[in-house]
Homo-oligomer: A and B are copies of this chain.
Amino acid sequence: MSNQKFISTTPTFDDIQAVAPALKDFTKDDLLGKVWGKKELSPRDRSIITLAAVITRNLQAELPPMLVLAIENGVKFAEISEIITHLAFYAGWGNAMSAILPTKKIFEKYQVDTALLPKSDDELLPIDENAEAQRAEFVEEAFGCTSAGVVKNTTDYLFRNLWLRSALAPRDRSLVTVAALIAAGQVAQIPYHLNRALDNGLTQVQASEVLTHLAFYAGWPNIFSSLTVFKEVFANRKK
């Protein structure tokens, strides 16, 4: 939703009013007017998780206004670019591909210098070899005989490349990943990545607010299914 007309699939407030006046008020007064301003999570963080949810759920109508809001909230062009690259792996290639043309249109409007966008040889952050060896051993032991190809690509593409790319801070990359898992209803994969997010500097208050915020963008049922695993992860870290 937006005051501007971006593309033919994005409704304006007047469009919403013409179909569901109550929804227009909920959108303007409550979601944009209150939820986005709550101090438990910065507007920039809210934009990162909303973008991740919108791309993961392939909601074309919400993508253009959420891209503009992300830029206004301080998400850099290079970070938007890298969020899309990250989601190719965590939401699926076609979801990332579906985000390309709407993002290109916004980038052109903002006259983004594409030479400054993160490349495939982006500088890599130093790796924690012990933690990575532990992760790799666990996955190899669990699934090495089920699909050696998945295990190898998980190491090579994800944990020795994508996660180390400097274009997105590890905490933000974790935010994107956790938001994508919540938005896709991938409850079983949340514990590992929520723990990783908390290790990467996300606080429990912020993680809780991710759920409060994404209830609107991923739907209440996804949030209630996620609450159970968030509760377990929080409890296990207290011990």
Q: A residues within 8 Å of B by Cβ?
A: 1, 8-11, 15-27, 29-31, 38, 40, 53-54, 57-62, 81-82, 84-85, 88-101, 103-104, 107, 114, 117-120, 122, 142-143, 145-150, 153-154, 157-158, 165, 167, 180-181, 184-189, 208-209, 211-212, 215-225, 227-228, 230-231, 234
Knowing A98-B9, A184-B219 are in contact, say whether A19-B92 is a contact too (CB < 8 A).
no
Q: Are A19 and B117 in contact (CB under 8 A)?
A: yes
Q: CA–CA, A63 to B149, complex, Å?
A: 25
Q: Are B59 and A92 in contact (CB under 8 A)?
A: yes
Contact of A220 among B58, B94, B154, B220 (CB under 8 A): B154
Q: Are A225 and B189 in contact (CB under 8 A)?
A: yes
Q: How far is the CB of A63 from chain B (nearest CB, A)?
A: 9
Q: How far is the CB of A4 from chain B (nearest CB, A)?
A: 14
Q: CA–CA, A39 to B47, complex, Å?
A: 42
Q: How far is the CB of A55 from chain B (nearest CB, A)?
A: 10
Q: CA–CA, A140 to B86, complex, Å?
A: 35
Contact of A101 among B9, B27, B107, B147 (CB under 8 A): B9
Knowing A40-B149, A95-B219 are in contact, say whether A224-B117 is a contact too (CB < 8 A).
no
Most chain B CB neighbours (cut-off 10 Å) among A57, A61, A114: A61
CB-nearest residue of chain B to A165: B22
- Which B residues are CB-close (under 8 A) to A150? 208, 211-212, 215, 223-224, 227
Knowing A61-B98, A100-B20 are in contact, say whether A188-B84 is a contact too (CB < 8 A).
no
Q: Are B221 and A180 in contact (CB under 8 A)?
A: yes
Q: CA–CA, A164 to B59, complex, Å?
A: 28
Q: Are A94 and B54 in contact (CB under 8 A)?
A: yes
